[in-house]
Structure 1
């Protein structure tokens, strides 16, 4: 439990120190401040406390935070001894078991820093869906509510190694030994100079309509070469934004190679046998992500290349 609290604190601190995402949230709250006036707001996760803080400042009549008690204390302290002190309230307990205070049954707006690395790693996706189904009024808002997951190819990236225990073989019963093997994935940041293919949109998550099983999927992709280069790994990253009903998508921030680094990292999947990709060559494959509680931070990946072909000059896939 202490380790979990430490991880939450580290994550919360990294969020608060991230200028890119903080400014993005400041913009959306200022742009849509009128939507919060006299509304009841639920902060699912309350990871850094920032969205609860902004909801109170935007004019919400009640803000309830679920999840991170330490961040909730930060918000309480920010409003202590002033007229807004009673607006914010922390609701402790498992989201499936809690009862909202003051006899409340519904909320008008859900805010949440729900996204994880590559959207789903260490995310609060399931919790937000549960809160939407149980408490959000019809036509209520979720901020942010849209995430686009992209994949692109890179030539190479520093690759870590880990110690692996080789189990006893029949030829040498009772003996085992440790060897160092390269990891298959890491979470890091790659710059635009490392890209050797165009990006490809793998999946869009819209929290207004998303379902629990959307976090497990396998989809085909096509990566067009930008230059003659080896393809040694693929990178997963996301664009995070907000879309009002019948409105257009507004990008808040991106974790992509062409954008500044954020607290949310990219996921790099390495290939043991890099392939050579020519400029404008189209590499075809498929990639999957699956919720697995016993796997890498609750996500398991599958990745394969099927074939490649040279696309016609100027064509778009």
Structure 2
């Protein structure tokens, strides 16, 4: 998908319908903007990828003196109608342009954007937001959101693989194995229930939107040792993200796509393993995960998961798995703690 195809895809109103019906998404942005009304009052705001204009309207409602709503697709025509419908056509200026081609008459105090894609980075607008920040944001200006975090955890996905034993009296397990093989070649966007997460989540990547560069999100590789918090079928690696907004008075607002939180249109992303493994509670699960920007399309990323042997990789100092070496470390730590308290 090249740039023209990407922007044309956002002319499909069904995409905007899905986003506008995503209550956790909309509520998080509205609360973050209204909680920071003192910072927005009388200020200049840039909305990158404004879509139908809802975030621009939120900013105008919070007292922004001027909002530049930049939208590359023809949905900008709808944004103008929505903005006029809400009585803010004197405050919000809609600009039908790629942000990279946009010319503004001034720098702005605040950038707001809903740029996130599946697992945060896939087909997202992060590069465009970084470009806008470097070109248009005043020093010390605010970013909404200002940081984002990607998490991963081993999981089972029974909704995909565990219902094929009896299809009206016919076993289709051989079909399910073919389905698993096919699914292991590309990430799947599915809802993963919190009870199907097999271990505590690990941070894959933390992004500070105020400082991150495009090069820093070209790719990364991490290695994790997760410890199963329950017995279950280890069938894949689940990815999700959170975004945090600036705050000066209240607790920071966080938009979360985690399995335990209300479902969003992003759901979760699962990298399915070609074979499943039955794990027991406290079993170590070792894996390496890499994300690299696709050369043929910089808006997409290639994901690779490598299953590792837990006995052959270094465990964290306080690993709680059931391997002998980790049990001995915990025993030594407990003994040291007791001796220290006895002194």
For the pair shown, the structure with the greater C-alpha radius of gyration is 2
Gap change, CA 1:291 and 1:232, over 3 Å in 2: same
In the alignment, does 2:34 pair up with 1:33?
no
In the alignment, does 2:136 pair up with 1:135?
yes
Does the CA-based 8 Å contact 1:159-1:182 persist in structure 2? no
Cα drift, residue 214 of structure 1: 2.6
In the alignment, does 2:227 pair up with 1:227?
no
- Quick check: which one's helix share is greater? 2
In the alignment, does 2:296 pair up with 1:294?
yes
Which among 27, 42, 47 is matched to residue 46 of structure 2? 42
The 3-state SS of whatever aligns with 1:131 is: helix
Q: What is the CA–CA distance in structure 2 between the aligned matches of 1:308 and 1:276, rounded to whole Å?
A: 15
Cα drift, residue 230 of structure 1: 2.6
Q: What is the CA–CA distance in structure 2 between the aligned matches of 1:276 and 1:217, rounded to whole Å?
A: 29
Q: Which moved more, 1:66-75 or 1:307-316?
A: 307-316
Q: What is the CA–CA distance in structure 2 between the aligned matches of 1:298 and 1:57, rounded to whole Å?
A: 35
Q: What is the CA–CA distance in structure 1 between the aligned matches of 2:207 and 2:15, rounded to whole Å?
A: 23
Deviations 1:268-306 (A, max 9, x none): 101112233221222222111111153797110011122
Cα drift, residue 228 of structure 1: 2.1
The 3-state SS of whatever aligns with 1:122 is: coil
Gap change, CA 1:202 and 1:54, over 3 Å in 2: same
The 3-state SS of whatever aligns with 2:150 is: strand
Does the CA-based 8 Å contact 1:47-1:113 persist in structure 2? no
In the alignment, does 2:99 pair up with 1:95?
yes
For 1:280, the equivalent position in structure 2 comes to 282
In the alignment, does 2:23 pair up with 1:19?
yes
Does the CA-based 8 Å contact 1:243-1:249 persist in structure 2? no
Gap change, CA 1:252 and 1:82, over 3 Å in 2: closer
For 2:336, the equivalent position in structure 1 comes to none
Cα drift, residue 267 of structure 1: 1.1
Deviations 1:41-85 (A, max 9, x none): 111111342211111111111111122555433443234388632
Which among 51, 55, 58 is matched to residue 59 of structure 2? 55
Q: What is the CA–CA distance in structure 2 between the aligned matches of 1:32 and 1:70, rounded to whole Å?
A: 30
Does the CA-based 8 Å contact 1:154-1:195 persist in structure 2? yes
Deviations 1:173-208 (A, max 9, x none): xxxxxx985222211111112112221111111101
Gap change, CA 1:267 and 1:20, over 3 Å in 2: same
For 1:171, the equivalent position in structure 2 comes to none
Gap change, CA 1:188 and 1:81, over 3 Å in 2: closer
Q: What is the CA–CA distance in structure 2 between the aligned matches of 1:44 and 1:195, rounded to whole Å?
A: 34
For 2:191, the equivalent position in structure 1 comes to 189
Q: What is the CA–CA distance in structure 1 between the aligned matches of 2:130 and 2:298, rounded to whole Å?
A: 22
TM-score by length of 1: 0.83
In the alignment, does 2:256 pair up with 1:260?
no
For 1:307, the equivalent position in structure 2 comes to 309
For 1:199, the equivalent position in structure 2 comes to 201
TM-score by length of 2: 0.77
Q: Which runs of 5+ in 2 are unaligned?
A: 162-177, 312-320, 334-343
For 2:338, the equivalent position in structure 1 comes to none
Q: What is the CA–CA distance in structure 2 between the aligned matches of 1:307 and 1:18, rounded to whole Å?
A: 40
Q: Which runs of 5+ in 1 are unaligned?
A: 161-178
Please, what is the CA RMSD of the aligned residues? 2.8
For 2:175, the equivalent position in structure 1 comes to none
